Structure 1
Amino acid sequence: MPETPLTGGPALGVVGRGRLGAALLAACRADGTPVSLTASRGGGWQADAVPEVIVDASAPEAHDDVLGYCASHRVPLVACVSNLTDAQWTSLAELATVVPVVRATNLSFAHYLQLRIAEFTAALTRGPLGAAGTTVRERHPAGKAHRPSATALVLAETWTGASGRAVTDIADERAGLPVSEHELTHTWDGESLHVRHHVGSWAVPARGALTAARWARTAPPGLVTMRTVYDDLTARSTP
């Protein structure tokens, strides 16, 4: 593995050549972001220099190699693999004591807005005007690794944390076109409110991964989520 950083601008390492990894590489080519390292199950690790940030879009099987590389080279990590074991989540937290780690359950900015809307709704529905019931629905194409999705669980946890009321159901569906849908539904007597987020292209999470990588490049060590990234970036852009 290379021992010296690439100079002349931000450089990424992309681990994984699946749908997200391929979309991220395409996004890097489109906007001129250098990629100094790639790794995949079929191609192994290929590196010109140590990247400034690694985006892991691979699978749990590659987790130890990715964390070992980031720890030994002190490289920030954007971790996009959600179906990790408890031991692997613990290892991710340990890495965050020495480098910044973004735990990217969902990379989309609109998903961030959906979470903020859930919190806003929770604040306005306390007391006698409270929602009679809240549910989460998620849809992914057939072949999605696990169900319910990590994003659906985060939606449910966000609602419960903000409102003090658990969701009454999390429905998951495996059918249809890429990429995903996540919907939060609040039901009163005779009316309902649906907050739905639909992603139809892998270019969307790829843009989010680039945003997270640029943020992590100058962040201090610590384990954060995309919520922290977007909170920080929206705060900077607010007059």
Structure 2
Amino acid sequence: MSETTRVVVTGVSGRMGQMLVRALAEADGLELSGAVERSGHDWVGRDLGAAMGGAESGLLVTDDAEAAFAEAHAVIDFTAPAATIAFGRLAAARGMVHVIGTTGFSDEELDELATASEGAVQVRAGNMSLGVNLLTLLTRKVAEALDADFDIEVVEAHHSRKVDAPSGTALMLGEAAAEGRGVALGDVADRGRDGITGARKRGDIGFTAIRGGDIVGEHDVIFAGPGERIVLRHVASDRALFARGALKAARWGVGQAPGFYDMIDVLGLK
């Protein structure tokens, strides 16, 4: 394998897709080798640089993911669950690194993704920033230390165009809190309150989603106990930090054994 890692970006017209293209242009040891969009998208067949409003790059946007993957070592994928599962199959067939920032998976889709991606180095995380992954570790530790007298709430805020709620990061934090408590998140998650809901159930982990404007991403984990509250918080002000994390994951994944990894592995925090 050459020293340069060749990377495909899927969903290249999206916010994160374009951010990844820009980040790759400045990254050492990484090269953008393919730009993939869904069939029928008006970017397909166009020069990527021109489609992004700049100078021509010499790289055409394609809807043929299989051909694009054939020339690459890694794919970075911030798309939608169904597309990610399909990309997972292609990545596994070629033994590639599959970096997944897609969120909004159902439990069934996660099972399907795990099956589809057997044979690939799969790095999947609801959030790829260093700060959020440190927050995840802290959430687990605090949940371990406090009993159910402390109610746990995860509050997240994102831009108005985000289509899934709670965010992948919020669910990641909820999972960390549940692991700290030694319970399954599915058994204790409270993901919606409206009307006369009755008193809060002891031990539940609550979620609140805020959508508005151009908020990049804000996450609070609140531990509310008798007479005191502990609040853990992360605020993202620049979407580029997610792109940098994804590139770090792609670089790290080359040479790893096939299997599932997360950003805690990539950052060496385990």
Structure 1 residues 30 and 140 mapped into 2: Cα distance closer, same or farther (>3 Å)?
same
Give aligned-pair identity as a percent: 28
2-side partners of 1:106 and 1:174: how far apart?
Answer: 17
Q: How far did residue 8 of structure 1 move?
A: 4.2
Alignment partner for residue 122 of structure 2, among 89, 97, 101?
A: 101
2-side partners of 1:174 and 1:85: how far apart?
Answer: 21
> Counterpart of 2:179?
161
> Counterpart of 1:29?
25
SS in 2 for 1:195: strand
Alignment partner for residue 140 of structure 2, among 119, 122, 125?
A: 119
Q: Are positions 1:82 and 2:103 aligned together?
A: yes
1:1-239 counterparts in 2 under 5 A? 7-17=2-12, 18-32=14-28, 33-41=30-38, 42=41, 43=44, 44-45=63-64, 47=68, 50-126=71-147, 131-164=149-182, 166-230=203-267, 233-234=268-269
Structure 1 residue runs without a partner (length 5+): none
Q: How far did residue 114 of structure 1 move?
A: 0.5
Q: TM-score, normalised by structure 2?
A: 0.75
**Number of matched residues?**
225
Q: How far did residue 85 of structure 1 move?
A: 4.6
Structure 1 residues 145 and 61 mapped into 2: Cα distance closer, same or farther (>3 Å)?
same
Structure 2 contact 151–225 (Cα < 8 Å) conserved: yes
Structure 2 residue runs without a partner (length 5+): 45-62, 184-202
Structure with the bigger percentage of helix:
1
**Greater CA deviation, 110-119 or 80-89?**
80-89
Q: TM-score, normalised by structure 1?
A: 0.84
Once the two structures are superposed, residues 121-155 of structure 1 have per-residue CA deviations (whole angstroms, 9 ceiling, x without a partner) of 123324xxx75322110111112111111221221
SS in 2 for 1:12: strand
SS in 1 for 2:5: coil
SS in 2 for 1:84: coil
Structure 1 residues 48 and 82 mapped into 2: Cα distance closer, same or farther (>3 Å)?
closer
2-side partners of 1:84 and 1:190: how far apart?
Answer: 37
**Greater CA deviation, 143-152 or 116-125?**
116-125
RMSD: 2.3
Structure 1 residues 49 and 72 mapped into 2: Cα distance closer, same or farther (>3 Å)?
closer
2-side partners of 1:194 and 1:100: how far apart?
Answer: 35
Structure 1 residues 188 and 110 mapped into 2: Cα distance closer, same or farther (>3 Å)?
same
Once the two structures are superposed, residues 164-203 of structure 1 have per-residue CA deviations (whole angstroms, 9 ceiling, x without a partner) of 4744421111114331111001123332121111111110
**Greater CA deviation, 161-170 or 135-144?**
161-170
